[in-house]
Amino acid sequence: QVQLVQSGAEVKQPGASVKVSCKTSGYTFTNYAMSWVRQAPGQGLEWMGWISTYNLNTDYAQKFQGRVTMTTDTSTNTVYMELRSLRSDDTAVYYCTRETATPSVPRPRRWFDSWGQGTLVTVSS
Amino acid sequence: DIQMTQSPSSLSASVGDRVTISCRASHTISTFLNWYRQKPGTAPEVLIYAASNLPGGVPSRFSGGGSGTDFTLTISSLQPEDFATYYCQQSYNSPQTFGQGTKLEIK
């Protein structure tokens, strides 16, 4: 079965960086893109960006441009999200989520069909 | 960015009730609209994709409708596990955006 297993909770100081991993199994890694979504405490869901595991193209939300990098390791079927210059308002649970799509043309409908368990990143001095 | 607005923000209902949640997009998005349920302390799970389609394994009490800018999620007969928060999400344009959520509580 499809599994997305994320790395453990992190506590970081303001200005530091964090790198969260998402190890996948149960499917062909390069057939599905991956997005990262975060959720601040008591708040809603926020899409951060997307990486194609096939050609490594990325698309980052403007809000995170310059601070976020998403990468993959096809030898371990793992996706990574690094966020730099952390601030207190980056405190959130970070989720990796697999994107699937219909075969519709010209534009396939896309949605998130599997999610990691979430990684709590706390930014505090 | 396309803004997604859900209504109501919160809702009280009883087991067995029929409820409908609405989602409005600030620009037309055809049927590039998905719905998720999030139980406390867990990751979201998809309920509806492409406005009206049920993924395998999702109970038939969930249904979705709409196109363009106005969408609905209906739960025909609430079960205890449905008391959770619901989000709509558009995948028409980048950045993909979510509604603010609708919290469904037990009356």
What confidence tier does A12 reach under pLDDT thresholds 50, 70, 90? Answer: very high
8 Å CB contact between A51 and A60: no
CB-CB under 8 Å, B101 with A44: yes
Q: Residue A90: helix, strand or coil by DSSP?
A: helix
Q: Among B55, B94, B99, whose Cβ lies nearest the Cβ of A59? A: B94
8 Å CB contact between B86 and B22: no
Q: Return per-residue pLDDT of chain B as tens, 107 residues.
A: 999 999 999 999 999 999 999 999 999 999 999 999 999 999 999 999 999 999 999 999 999 999 999 999 999 999 999 999 999 999 999 999 999 999 999 98
What confidence tier does A103 reach under pLDDT thresholds 50, 70, 90? Answer: confident
Q: Could you tell me if B90 lies within 8 Å of chain A, comparing CB atoms?
A: no
The pLDDT tens digits for A59-93 are 999 999 999 999 999 999 999 999 999 999 999 99
Q: How far is CA B63 from the centre of its chain?
A: 9
Element of type H or E holding A81: strand A78-83
CB-CB under 8 Å, A62 with B95: yes
Q: Among A44, A50, A112, whose Cβ lies nearest the Cβ of B46? A: A112
Taking contacts as CB-CB distances below 8 angstroms, the residues of chain B near A118 are: 43
At residue A85, what is the residue type? S
Nearest CA in chain A to B52: A109
